[in-house]
């Protein structure tokens, strides 16, 4: 009987599947429209972190939210960050997540003292992943990007984590 396997969303394995030794899939880092200096710097910091894990060249690009197009970018893994209100397509993505404590996600998105890192399958291609680093403040998503290096230290596999903004 034919069957197939697909990876489960698990922050503990980051940077996989964005960076893998099996194949080179395109990665798109999505900045908010009219990005601030901090958002541009954060995009470059994420690409630098991913580069630390690669053994070969990898295909990475930066786009703004309005440039993200499901028809032309469905074959890419997507990493987006910023404040929730500056990434309008995130609402669509959150609706596609499997039943995780969505109420907790939305409560955290509305709490200025909490940031979120969420990973899930792309709403446009279930063979690709989306990673979101969100908060109500610039300090929050910048701290979230710093948390990326420590995801392997998570106690349990998880598709999302919240962190206190300090």
Which has more confidence, 7 or 155?
A: 155
Query: Considering the entire predicted model, what is its pTM?
Result: 0.85
Rounded to whole angstroms, the Cα distance separating 19 from 27 reads 9
Burial track 94-109 (b if 16+ CB lie within 10 A, e otherwise): beebeeeeeeebeebb
Q: Indicate the average pLDDT of the chain.
A: 81
Confidence grade of residue 1 (pLDDT, cut at 50, 70, 90): very low
Encode pLDDT of 121-150 as tens digits: 888 888 888 898 888 887 887 888 888 878
If you average pLDDT over residues 53-58, what whole number do you get?
79
Domain spans, the chain: 11-164
- CATH code for residues 11-164: 3.30.379.10
Encode pLDDT of 15-47 as tens digits: 888 887 766 789 999 999 999 998 899 899 899
Does residue 3 have a pLDDT over 50?
Answer: no
If you average pLDDT over residues 52-76, what whole number do you get?
86
Which has more confidence, 7 or 105?
A: 105
């Amino acid at each position: 009987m034919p069957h197939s396997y697909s990876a489960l969303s698990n922050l503990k394995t980051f940077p996989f599947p964005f960076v893998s030794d099996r194949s080179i899939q395109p990665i798109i880092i999505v900045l908010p429209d009219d990005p601030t200096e901090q958002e541009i710097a954060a995009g470059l910091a994420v690409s630098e972190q991913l580069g630390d894990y690669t053994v070969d060249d990898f295909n990475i690009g930066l786009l703004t939210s309005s440039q993200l197009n499901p028809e032309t970018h469905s074959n890419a893994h997507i990493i987006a960050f910023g404040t929730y209100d500056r990434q309008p397509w995130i609402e669509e993505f959150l609706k596609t997540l499997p039943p995780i404590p969505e109420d907790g996600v939305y409560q955290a998105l509305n709490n200025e003292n909490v940031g979120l890192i969420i990973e899930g399958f792309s709403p446009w291609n279930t063979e690709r992943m989306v990673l979101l680093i969100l908060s109500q403040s610039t300090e929050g998503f910048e701290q979230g990007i710093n948390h990326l290096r420590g995801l392997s230290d998570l106690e349990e596999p998880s598709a999302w984590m919240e962190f206190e903004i300090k």
